[in-house]
Structure 1
Amino acid sequence: MGIHIQDEETARVLRAFAERRGLDVSTAVKVAVEEAEAATKSNGAKLAQKIEPILERARARRKELGIPADAKFDLKDFRDEMWEGSD
């Protein structure tokens, strides 16, 4: 399968990447994509670590308020209840 890169800047960057790594262009594309995928997964794991304390506080607050963990929030019901006495 061939890939035609029309953008000169992209082609230049790819060739430079391949040269720095000592790779042919096809392998350079593969390596670059694999590294980008690994970085994406790594960032996702870092984000999960960052938000875990926030989720823990939310879980604790739900428990304090007696809200079951599997409770569903229905915005329409909430609005109906909120505006019920405003007539």
Structure 2
Amino acid sequence: MLFPLSAEGERLIAYEEPTDHTAGSAIGIGSGGGRPKALLRLPSATRAAEAGPASATRIYRNGVFYIASDRLTGSGPAEEMITTFCP
């Protein structure tokens, strides 16, 4: 499954979801079509963190991929939101 993240010049930057056996990746797709190019392959150790948030914001900027949950859970001011960073 691919999720569009942004446009960079004449190419679309998309996030490819992890599978049961591989981590996700950021890919570039040229405006003229052709084969997608892997921009960043996430390490297999991040697969569980990527699959964790059901609702998340995903950003790819300057060669770094960020993922953060869109939901806050907690009942008091002492609890913090946890943000996951995937290099």
Using the size of structure 2 for normalisation, the TM-score is: 0.23
Structure having the higher helix fraction is 1
Using the size of structure 1 for normalisation, the TM-score is: 0.23
Larger radius of gyration: 1
